[in-house]
Amino acid sequence: MSTLRSWSSDAALAVAITLVGLVGTTIANRWSETALRPLDALGLALVAAAGLSLVLRRWQPEITAGAVALLTSAYLVLGYTYGPILLSLLVAVYSLARHRPLATSVPVALGVLAVLLVHVFTTSSGLPGLLGVIPGSAWVAVPFAVGSVVRVQREAVARDRAEQLRQRLDDERLRIAQEVHDVVGHGLAAIKMQADVALHVLAKKPEQAEVALEAISRTSSDALDELRATLAVVRRSSAQAPGLARLDDLLQRMREAGVSVELSTVGEARQLPPVVDLTSYRILQESLTNVLRHSGDKRAEVTVEYAADAVVLTVANPLSGSTGGGGGLGLPGMRQRVASLGGEFEAGPTADRRFTVHARLPTGGTP
């Protein structure tokens, strides 16, 4: 469709310039006092051929520029008056510089200039000799410069668009990686802990092992459901991404995995923007998963505060074992999530020997 539109626009331009050339040349011939030859059918044919050649200006600019240069030079060498045929030359040279790189366009433009300047040294209708080179060269140099500038600007815009697209794709890949990391990492950490418990008590207390295995089954099922929901959101389907409304389910899974969790809610719970809701859930999920993985004393206190213009999340646990989130996407991923929303994020040990994750996510002043 775009190709047909381009052909149509070029054909319309060629016809328009041809008509302007024929009418303008006829008028110019009546008022010209320097023409060496009166306008005749051959002159009009040269004008028409030069204008119609522009139909190929976008697809074959080298051929178009060469053909128009030969027709224009022949027109001037034969002694016809200066006129609108030079408009065809301007468009042809501009198109050459606009649609071809300098390595191709410069040699062709120099050839066009050489062909055009033939009339300066063979006729007496214009400035004699070298004095005619400067104005004659301008018919090539000016449109070539304009076309080159336009081409460079368009290429810069295209590069910027390509870079923006690449950045969006990279951001999307990172977002998907973070989502999958949070879902799978949390589920596997809980399953591993429950499996260790089952193995430990299997011989002596098989009934407790059965409880642990049932918890593994529920945790794996929940993790699969959440992963499917996450992938469905990535595919832009109607599935709903997890949010703080599913916080109780998350805390229940953590308790079944062996983490004692206390939840405190400050302020009245309200509907959050979807991206803030999902980010809040992921931060709490990753923080509690880190407690499960790295804390020797598996206790955590979770606080969710609904402020006037933000939701504030705090997860604190006694400082024991490793204090980090591993070398993966844990803490860096949470920090990046919060930063992308213009929020504040802090994580680290405190003076009372606790490891605290604190995040403040703006909600846009939602009351």
Domains, the chain, ranges and CATH?
2-126 (no CATH), 165-362 (3.30.565.10)
Q: What is the mean pLDDT of the chain?
A: 81
Q: Is the dihedral of CA 127, 132, 134, 137 positive or negative?
A: positive
Nearest to 85 by CA among 159, 35, 128: 35
For residue 15, give Cα distances in angstroms to 107, 162, 277. 28, 36, 60
For residue 343, give Cα distances in angstroms to 191, 313, 334. 32, 11, 11
Higher pLDDT, 202 or 333: 333
> Mean per-residue pLDDT for 132-149?
87
pLDDT tens digits, 153-190:
988 888 888 788 778 767 766 666 666 666 666 666 66
Residue 145 has pLDDT above 70, yes or no: yes
Cα torsion for 37, 41, 47, 49, to the nearest 10°? -140
pLDDT tens digits, 199-233:
776 767 777 766 767 777 676 766 666 666 666 65
> Mean per-residue pLDDT for 266-278?
88
Q: Is the dihedral of CA 25, 31, 34, 40 positive or negative?
A: positive
User: Token pair for residue 108?
Assistant: 């062709």
> Mean per-residue pLDDT for 101-116?
92
Alpha-helical runs (H) found in the chain: 2-31, 41-52, 61-77, 85-99, 102-116, 118-122, 133-201, 206-234, 247-256, 274-294, 330-340
* Cβ-Cβ contacts under 8 Å for 121 (sequence gap 6 or more): 129
Higher pLDDT, 178 or 285: 285
How confident is the model at residue 306, as a pLDDT? 93
The count of other CB atoms within 10 Å of the CB of residue 248 is: 10
Evaluate whether 318 touches 353 at the Cβ level (below 8 Å).
yes
pLDDT tens digits, 116-129:
888 777 765 555 55
pTM of the model: 0.52
> Mean per-residue pLDDT for 330-344?
85
- pLDDT range class, residue 18, cuts 50, 70, 90: very high
Residue 197 has pLDDT above 90, yes or no: no
How confident is the model at residue 64, as a pLDDT? 94
Evaluate whether 356 touches 314 at the Cβ level (below 8 Å).
yes
> To the nearest whole percent, how much of the chain has pLDDT over 70?
76
How confident is the model at residue 255, as a pLDDT? 85
Cα separation of 86 and 112, whole Å? Answer: 12
Residue 350 has pLDDT above 70, yes or no: yes
Cα separation of 185 and 296, whole Å? Answer: 18
How confident is the model at residue 19, as a pLDDT? 93
Residue 328 has pLDDT above 50, yes or no: no
How confident is the model at residue 130, as a pLDDT? 59
> Mean per-residue pLDDT for 341-362?
90
How confident is the model at residue 37, as a pLDDT? 79
Residue 92 has pLDDT above 60, yes or no: yes
Cα torsion for 318, 319, 321, 324, to the nearest 10°? 110
Nearest to 315 by CA among 242, 249, 227, 251: 251
Residue 331 has pLDDT above 50, yes or no: yes
